[in-house]
Amino acid sequence: MKKILAVFDGLKFSDSTLQYAVKMGIQHNAVITGVFLEDPTYTSRGIYQLYSEKEYALDSVKQLVREDRQARDAAVDRFEAACKEAGISYLIHRDKELAIADLIKESRYADLLLMNAGESMTRYTEDSPTHFVREILAGTKCPVLVLPQHFADIKRVYWLFDGSPVSIHAFKMFSYLLPVLSGLPFDVISADLPETVRYNEMVKELVSLHAPQARYHYLKGQAELEIPLFMRKQEKESLIILGAYQRSALSMVFKASMADILVKEHQWPLFIAHNK
């Protein structure tokens, strides 16, 4: 792996994203590209509200623009200083168009994208997964590591295997991109699968070549209930591999994806890769 995108909102800087980015840059000798999304439609305060509240509204708007620019400049400086201190290679992209479209375009030319689970690129508070996170997960052209609010060293890996091609694809992309982590204690988790699909010989053969130390667990019951319950009992210093956002829009109305359920937890890094 050579190029990792680390996504930042300069008005709500994520310490967690910075810490994970620096750690991965060191582990994988990769270039970290800090992508600072400076969408012109996004400000720290509402411009229309300033116009309605103050007599000298134009001066207030100019002050807001200055303050936001200073905050975004400070975020870039903070990223650059951390990379220099860690001795890792880095690039800085300050994208000034619409945030979602810009980031999806950036993802075409990257190996991996790091993004905090709570990123919204708005001044409003949203429940997770936010609209921004959903759109990126659905449209990204490279695998995504969705990050929790707080950094923790990764000490164990869980692969959520559901028998689907996208699940296998996610495991392979993880193994290719993050081979250092494949050597950690590794668990394969499944639930609610027919016996013909459950850990067949080809699955075990593939896993044995990338993570020979793997252990297998089969949970009885509905995956959407049993897997989150299982994971809450495990170490917080864990990473979860899964595929996501492959169903039709209609089916997603009736049934949340496993990625949605786990993103809401804000507890573990989630390695998500689809093969559309």
CA-to-CA dists, residue 241 to 36, 88, 270, angstroms: 26, 26, 6
**pLDDT tens for each residue of 36-53:** 999 988 888 765 555 555
- Average pLDDT of the segment spanning 259-273: 89
Query: Would strands 3-8 and 31-37 be described as parallel, antiparallel, or unpaired?
Result: parallel
CA-to-CA dists, residue 49 to 46, 125, 144, 212, angstroms: 5, 17, 36, 59
Structure tokens at 24: 């991965």
pLDDT at 72: 96
**Cβ-based neighbours of 100, under 8 Å, separated by 6 or more:** 121, 132, 135, 136, 139
- Average pLDDT of the segment spanning 207-228: 92
Q: How far apart are the first and last CA of the chain?
A: 21
Q: Mean pLDDT over all residues of the chain?
A: 88
- Average pLDDT of the segment spanning 140-168: 94
The neighbouring-strand residues paired with 113 are 5, 144
**pLDDT tens for each residue of 64-84:** 889 999 999 999 999 999 999
**pLDDT tier, 273 (very low <50, low <70, confident <90, very high otherwise):** very high
pLDDT at 183: 94
Phi, psi of 192 (to 5 degrees): 60, 45
- Taken in order of first residue, the domains within the chain and their CATH numbers are 3-147 (3.40.50.620), 156-272 (3.40.50.620)
pLDDT at 74: 98
Residue closest to 198 by CA, chosen among 221, 216, 176: 216
Q: Which amino acid is at 91?
A: L
Q: Model-level pTM?
A: 0.90
DSSP state of 93: E
Could you give the CA distance from residue 224 to residue 230 in angstroms, rounded to a whole number? 11
CA-to-CA dists, residue 226 to 24, 129, 140, 192, 230, angstroms: 31, 20, 28, 9, 6
Least confident of 41-50, 65-74, 162-171, 180-189: 41-50
Structure tokens at 160: 């959520």
